[in-house]
Structure 1
Amino acid sequence: MLLEAEHFVAIGFFLFLAVLAYYGVHSKIVGALDGRIDGVKKELAEAQKLREEAQSLLASFDAKRKAAEADAAAIVAQAKQEAELLAKEAQERMTDYIARRTKQAEDKIAQAEVQAANEVRSVAADVATRAAEAVLKTETAGAGGAALVDQGIKDLGRLLH
């Protein structure tokens, strides 16, 4: 029972551990693990630093984006205001132009009306003169005509004063 294979394996294992402990292998293993831990800590610190830089850049770019959006909105608003102003000015100029053209047309129409009225008066005066001439030629023949001319001369003096 004491000389079974399992006992020899156990004794060999403990002797192996004792040899390892004697030569300080455990401290070398712990040192290697500590070195690995320090390396991982440095990598984590570097990763944390990179993360903070990335967040800083992200915040910076986000602020720049917001500023650019605000600038773009201001430019669009100003362009819209200028377009409205130009449209209003164009509308006013068009209204003024239409008013001037309407006034010119009305003036031409009024001038044509006055000219037509003058022409009608002129024609009416010519017709009345011819009619009066014809009447006077027929009525002034003889003694009644002289009395009529004398009466007309008297009436002229009274009408002109």
Structure 2
Amino acid sequence: MDATFWAFIGLVIFLALLAYLKVPGMIGRSLDERAANIAKELDEARTLREEAQALLAEYHRKRKEAEKEAGEIVASAQREAAALLSDAKAKSEEYIARRNKLAEQKIAQAESDAVNQVRASAVEIAVAAASTLIATKVDAKTAGTLFKSSLEQVKENFN
């Protein structure tokens, strides 16, 4: 009996002890559990990846919608600004036309006032000249006759 025999016997006892304690079954179960855990983690990773891709697609869609909405807002703002500009232009033109008409009315009124003032001055000058002329040339009898005829003219004009 040499050392090889005793090593073989030790190996057989060791293997018998391992079989008795059911170590191969435990190792198999442990490996099966580990394989199941790895498969479970892979499934979870695949699910998470799919969810991440769905979220990414959702964010891309929302970004496109937001860009479209922003474009619509900008277009709406441009239309509104154009409308405000045309409205302001129309109101400015209307205001200018109103101011021109008012200025023309004021000019016409000033012109009418000036003509009336010239007429009044002409009448005053004519009356003053006539009174001076009458005072120097007419005697009392002629003045009474002129007064009566003037009075009759005034009565006719009022009737």
Q: Could you tell me the TM-score, scaled by structure 1's length?
A: 0.65
Match of 1:155? Answer: none
Deviation of 1:55 after TM superposition, in Å, equals: 0.5
Paired residues in the alignment total: 134
What percent identity do the matched residue pairs reach? 12
More displaced 10-residue stretch of structure 1: 87-96 or 103-112: 87-96
Query: Is structure 2 residue 102 aligned with structure 1 residue 108?
Result: yes
Please give the alpha-carbon distance, in whole angstroms, between the structure 2 residues aligned to 1:67 and 1:26.
63
Please give the alpha-carbon distance, in whole angstroms, between the structure 2 residues aligned to 1:123 and 1:22.
145
For structure 1, list consecutive stretches of 5 or more residues without a partner in the other structure: 143-161
For structure 2, list consecutive stretches of 5 or more residues without a partner in the other structure: 139-159
Please give the alpha-carbon distance, in whole angstroms, between the structure 1 residues aligned to 2:65 and 2:92.
40
Match of 1:93? Answer: 87
More displaced 10-residue stretch of structure 1: 25-34 or 86-95: 25-34
Deviation of 1:25 after TM superposition, in Å, equals: 2.1
1:49 to 43, 47, 50: 43
Match of 1:15? Answer: 9
Deviation of 1:106 after TM superposition, in Å, equals: 1.1
More displaced 10-residue stretch of structure 1: 119-128 or 106-115: 119-128
Change (3 A) 1:123 1:43: same
Please give the alpha-carbon distance, in whole angstroms, between the structure 1 residues aligned to 2:32 and 2:65.
49
CA deviations over 1:43-91 (Å, ceiling 9, x no partner): 1111111111000000011111111112222222222222222222222
Please give the alpha-carbon distance, in whole angstroms, between the structure 2 residues aligned to 1:132 and 1:59.
107
Pairwise mapping of residues 1-161 of structure 1 onto structure 2 (< 5 A)?
12-21=6-15, 25=19, 28-131=22-125, 134=129
Please report the RMSD computed on the Cα atoms of aligned residues, expressed in angstroms.
3.2
Deviation of 1:12 after TM superposition, in Å, equals: 4.3
Match of 1:158? Answer: none
